[in-house]
Structure 1
Amino acid sequence: MVDRRDLVACEDVVMFVNAAVTSTGQREFRDDAIAQRLSVEFLHEYILGNYRELYAASLALDINDFNAALIVRNLLVSSRDLTPEVRRREGELIARRLELMAPQRVWRLFRELARRGVNNRRTRAIMRDWTAQRRDPVLDAVKYRTGVKATMRHAHLEVPAETGTFLFSSPRKVSAFGTPLFETWRQAHYAQRALYDLPYSVAEGLASMHGIKRATFLEKIAPQLTRLERLRLQDAAERAGVAAVRADLTGMPLTRLASYVLSLSQAERAARHDELRHAMTVSARRVAGPAAGSWGRVVAVLDDSFSSFGSTAKRQRPLAVALACRFLLKALAGEFTGLWTSGTHDPLLVRPSGPTPLGERLIDALELAPDRLIVVSDGWDNSPPGLAAEVLRVWRERLDPTGATAVVHLNPVYDAEGFDVKRLSASVPTVGVRDAEDVPALVELARFAEGRAGFAELRRYLADRQDRFRSRRAAA
């Protein structure tokens, strides 16, 4: 029997993890950005104040960079009166998480810490160690100049003389730099040809300053593009008639690839159907790895209703997660059936439309008696309202009380009003999902959302995740 206090603590932590996985502080279909940010920041303060150890431990989970940065900031702001052991453990988690975060997010975090005047010894050491392990500090100085400048000044870090001149003086007034990239940046302000040796994100602004046509710029900057930049720019380049920008889709991350597919018109998706299906399948199999084919009979109920459009800030993000999950679950399953709420049979042609008849699709899914039923939806069952919850209740209480079919609801949308992702039913676990790549770990976490596992077991789970998280850093 799970103690009531343990159950509440377990629910609180799982609720926070759901938020940290899904919320990015941006507008969603039903909540504006202000509501999203206020809600998630309140949740951070609540968990930090009541479960600091587990709050820090969540850095070892598959949370997004937005929430990871908030956790790091809050831990560093409130570090007084910690024991040396707690400081060491938190420091290791912070250092490992910063290694995994996008560098622009880290530089933004450091600027925020400087703005808040957080200048304790631990903060300065973390800034020092992270900047010291950067592989190309010269590139960082050019690409993230404002963040690097603020960090170096705030933490009193030593910089090479020429880097200091580039950051803190007027670099355009220097007659010449000895460092090649600094010199290229200086020359690019005066000579167009030099900007094509700069990183795309730096060169783009200079190209605009020089009045260079978009098609000309994309064609000449193509050799400098990263893999993800190629994916993001491919559609715009094709419209401009530039063939040089072409991404290898099979090497792309699964959820990003799904977002790219949905950015194409249905006519283009139909024309490139075999190419896109092959790319999605290869990417999904790569994520599944050794677990491919090991999940038995899997049925997925996938939400492509109108609310899966998301918002202008996160255009079609919920639908992209559902599409990526569909291909990943097919790779993990021995036998797979995917059921879209719209009734469509071609996953590559899905689009946000219509109501959300989750109850009807759940009936169709459960009739197949799968080993696993995975629902990917924002949880707003409205055709008719409440049918999904009743179907799941009756199924669990009367037709499958032993749990022969494992049911998990994956929700890609944070509900600001409820401080959690919206649940379909109290009888099945709901966990937040940001990227389909995290699904295997999230299905493991789902047992804590059911109330069948206690707080002590959750602590052991988080301790194990922390150990694996830190050991990967030591081995790197």
Structure 2
Amino acid sequence: MTDTYADLLACEDVLRFANAAISGTGQREFLGGPGEQLLTLDFLHSYVRVNHRDLYAAVLALDVNDHNAARIVHGLLSEPAGPGAAALPEEGALIARRLADLPPQRAYRLFRRLAADRVNNRRTRAVIAQWLRNRPDLAFDAVKYRAGLTAAARHAHLRLPGEVADFCFTSARRTRPFATPILETYRAAHYSVEAAYGLPLTVAEGFAARHGVPRDRFLARARASATSGELLRMDRAMRERGLSTGYDLARAGLTRLCSYVLALPIREREERRAELTAALRASARRTAGAHAGSWGPTAAVLDDSYSSFGSPVKRNRPLAVALACHFLMAELSTRYTAHWLSGRTDALTVRPLGNSPLAERILDALDTRPERLVIVSDGHDDCPPVPAALLDAWRTRIDPGRATSAVHLNPVVDAEELGTAPIAASVPTVGVRDAAALPSLVELARFGEGASGLADLRAHLDRRVAAYIAAPAAGASRPR
């Protein structure tokens, strides 16, 4: 390896930023408020954008969450590359590709922020125009995201087509009918509750309340216009009213499905054990895809201690990630054993409770002699030096040949650590927010072991960027 000390530091900086961008959302965590995390993210974004602009853009091809993807796009558009800053040649294509993957409400929120910050250069206007041209149905967007579409068009100096422009920039409540069906449905919904059922759910809810429609009747009728994500959110409310959404839980994303399961009372989970287990396994099989069975014997240490509750704004999110990783690793591995910190063996009924005996569970996992050890935890232990000393001693004295690979997946950003808190220096730590990214995160973790330097990281990011730009956008398949 020919990397200089400066290169190694740059590699560490980029990995630290990538980990924070994967798991951090600027929200309250179990041990930290939103202010501290926002300051950490602000610093990391600014530092990496100024000092490693090409790598900053390339991180868009990794599994960073939507919050930080939008921030990266904002940073690239608002601050053009300076004379001494290297810019990724594919930066424009990467921005367009990532915007296509963002949920529409996230993209419109980004455009409104660009307008508020007076970022109105030619490149920004071109990016907004291209994104709007690629939208499948601007009339639908005008109804569901009217304020965002109006702000984006006004900021980019765009002329919207026909009745969409009339709807956005003049009064939507008019007596003269629209020729566009969804716009006419919106106009009619001001006078008829029946018309409201033909609108997107979030819009229809406002009209239903305005017309005084009972919640039970509205939910029973609104199922047809709800997206898959909305059906999952409505499922429990409808069950309490004796209704069924008719939604197949197995179609939900694995981590989102785990959040849904953890929100259910333990008794209901047990009553619906067969249904929920089948849905979780089916979702995990779909998520694993071509990677199914590609891992050798794997042992996982999974955090279900009290801190896995997260916070009131991210309720059970760390535990949901651990549960999703559990079901996914069962599909990825030829032999799999799970070791929950609480000692429980029933994954379906896990809950955030108790202390964090990481060292004990790590020993239990290593006793199975796995090829791969995966630790999913926020990294906070009852006695922090113990698991660190244990893992360091295991790596240097018992397994110096690395017969067992090890990785720590951390779903929480620690503001004091300026990133994700590690467990031990000998085990690389990677941020995680969605279990679907598990195979690629494990691949990224090897750069945190110190055996690979900046050149290898650049080569890895170049491959990821090329593959990401060439792949079809997932935005079209997202619920609107």
TM-score by length of 1: 0.97
Question: Does 2:467 match 1:468?
Answer: yes
Question: Does 2:359 match 1:351?
Answer: no
What is residue 181 of structure 2 aligned with on the other side?
180
Q: 1:368-387 to 2 correspondence within 5 Å?
A: 368-382=368-382, 384-387=383-386
User: Aligned equivalents of 2:84 and 2:387: distance in 1?
Assistant: 49
What is residue 168 of structure 2 aligned with on the other side?
167
- Maintained 8 Å contact 2:54/2:86: no
**Residues matched between the structures, number:** 474
Report the secondary structure of 1:431's partner residue: strand
Q: Could you tell me how far 1:84 is from its partner in structure 2? A: 13
User: Aligned equivalents of 1:166 and 1:189: distance in 2?
Assistant: 14
Q: Could you tell me how far 1:205 is from its partner in structure 2? A: 1.7
What is residue 254 of structure 2 aligned with on the other side?
254
Which residue identity lines up with residue 314 of structure 1 in the other structure? K
Instruction: Render the CA deviation track for 1:33-57: whole Å, top value 9, x for unaligned.
Output: 1222121011100100110000000
Q: Could you tell me how far 1:173 is from its partner in structure 2? A: 2.9
What is residue 133 of structure 2 aligned with on the other side?
132
Q: Could you tell me how far 1:294 is from its partner in structure 2? A: 2.1
What is residue 265 of structure 1 aligned with on the other side?
265
What is residue 449 of structure 2 aligned with on the other side?
450
What is residue 362 of structure 1 aligned with on the other side?
362
Which residue identity lines up with residue 453 of structure 1 in the other structure? S
User: Aligned equivalents of 1:199 and 1:279: distance in 2?
Assistant: 26
User: Aligned equivalents of 2:306 and 2:127: distance in 1?
Assistant: 44
User: Aligned equivalents of 2:51 and 2:144: distance in 1?
Assistant: 39
User: Aligned equivalents of 2:175 and 2:357: distance in 1?
Assistant: 65
User: Aligned equivalents of 2:473 and 2:193: distance in 1?
Assistant: 44
User: Aligned equivalents of 2:108 and 2:442: distance in 1?
Assistant: 33
User: Aligned equivalents of 1:354 and 1:447: distance in 2?
Assistant: 32
Which residue identity lines up with residue 23 of structure 1 in the other structure? G
Q: Could you tell me how far 1:186 is from its partner in structure 2? A: 1.3
Report the secondary structure of 1:14's partner residue: helix
* Larger deviation, residues 466-475 vs 37-46: 466-475
Q: Which runs of 5+ in 1 are unaligned?
A: none
Question: Does 2:400 match 1:401?
Answer: yes
Instruction: Render the CA deviation track for 1:338-378: whole Å, top value 9, x for unaligned.
Output: 00000001000000001110011001111111100000000
TM-score by length of 2: 0.96
Instruction: Render the CA deviation track for 1:428-476: whole Å, top value 9, x for unaligned.
Output: 0000001000000000000111111010000000011111111115999
Q: 1:284-323 to 2 correspondence within 5 Å?
A: 284-323=284-323
User: Aligned equivalents of 2:284 and 2:155: distance in 1?
Assistant: 43
- Maintained 8 Å contact 2:196/2:208: yes
Q: Could you tell me how far 1:385 is from its partner in structure 2? A: 3.3
User: Aligned equivalents of 1:247 and 1:390: distance in 2?
Assistant: 48
Q: 1:23-38 to 2 correspondence within 5 Å?
A: 23-38=24-39
What is residue 239 of structure 1 aligned with on the other side?
240
What is residue 416 of structure 1 aligned with on the other side?
415
User: Aligned equivalents of 2:85 and 2:94: distance in 1?
Assistant: 14
What is residue 389 of structure 1 aligned with on the other side?
388
Q: Which runs of 5+ in 2 are unaligned?
A: none
* Cα distance, 1:376–1:170 mapped onto 2, change above 3 Å: same
* Larger deviation, residues 22-31 vs 154-163: 154-163
What is residue 440 of structure 1 aligned with on the other side?
439
- Maintained 8 Å contact 1:22/1:64: yes
Q: Could you tell me how far 1:82 is from its partner in structure 2? A: 6.8
Q: Could you tell me how far 1:4 is from its partner in structure 2? A: 2.0
Instruction: Render the CA deviation track for 1:106-142: whole Å, top value 9, x for unaligned.
Output: 0000011111111111101100000001001100011
List structure 1 runs of 4+ shifted beyond 4 angstroms. Answer: 80-88, 473-476
Which residue identity lines up with residue 334 of structure 1 in the other structure? T
Q: Could you tell me how far 1:241 is from its partner in structure 2? A: 2.2
User: Aligned equivalents of 1:150 and 1:88: distance in 2?
Assistant: 30
Q: CA RMSD in A?
A: 1.7
Q: Could you tell me how far 1:190 is from its partner in structure 2? A: 1.8
Which residue identity lines up with residue 416 of structure 1 in the other structure? A
Question: Does 2:219 match 1:215?
Answer: no
Q: Could you tell me how far 1:83 is from its partner in structure 2? A: 11
User: Aligned equivalents of 2:263 and 2:319: distance in 1?
Assistant: 11
Which residue identity lines up with residue 354 of structure 1 in the other structure? G
User: Aligned equivalents of 1:365 and 1:171: distance in 2?
Assistant: 62
Which residue identity lines up with residue 337 of structure 2 in the other structure? T
What is residue 58 of structure 1 aligned with on the other side?
59
- Maintained 8 Å contact 2:409/2:431: yes
Q: Could you tell me how far 1:81 is from its partner in structure 2? A: 4.6
User: Aligned equivalents of 2:131 and 2:472: distance in 1?
Assistant: 13
* Cα distance, 1:412–1:136 mapped onto 2, change above 3 Å: same
User: Aligned equivalents of 2:333 and 2:351: distance in 1?
Assistant: 25
* Cα distance, 1:56–1:211 mapped onto 2, change above 3 Å: same
What is residue 337 of structure 1 aligned with on the other side?
337
User: Aligned equivalents of 1:18 and 1:108: distance in 2?
Assistant: 24
Which residue identity lines up with residue 40 of structure 1 in the other structure? L
User: Aligned equivalents of 1:261 and 1:138: distance in 2?
Assistant: 35
Instruction: Render the CA deviation track for 1:95-116: whole Å, top value 9, x for unaligned.
Output: 0000111110000000111111
What is residue 71 of structure 2 aligned with on the other side?
70
Which residue identity lines up with residue 258 of structure 1 in the other structure? C
- Maintained 8 Å contact 1:215/1:241: no
Which residue identity lines up with residue 365 of structure 1 in the other structure? A
Which residue identity lines up with residue 181 of structure 1 in the other structure? I
- Maintained 8 Å contact 2:53/2:81: no
User: Aligned equivalents of 2:289 and 2:174: distance in 1?
Assistant: 53
Q: Could you tell me how far 1:228 is from its partner in structure 2? A: 1.3
* Larger deviation, residues 372-381 vs 201-210: 201-210
- Maintained 8 Å contact 2:53/2:86: no
- Maintained 8 Å contact 1:296/1:334: yes
Report the secondary structure of 1:321's partner residue: helix
Q: 1:31-50 to 2 correspondence within 5 Å?
A: 31-50=32-51
* Cα distance, 1:251–1:90 mapped onto 2, change above 3 Å: same
Instruction: Render the CA deviation track for 1:227-263: whole Å, top value 9, x for unaligned.
Output: 11111110011112222x1320111111111111111
Which residue identity lines up with residue 70 of structure 2 in the other structure? A
Report the secondary structure of 2:173's partner residue: helix
- Give the % identical residues: 52
Report the secondary structure of 2:197's partner residue: helix
- Maintained 8 Å contact 2:185/2:196: yes
* Cα distance, 1:83–1:224 mapped onto 2, change above 3 Å: farther
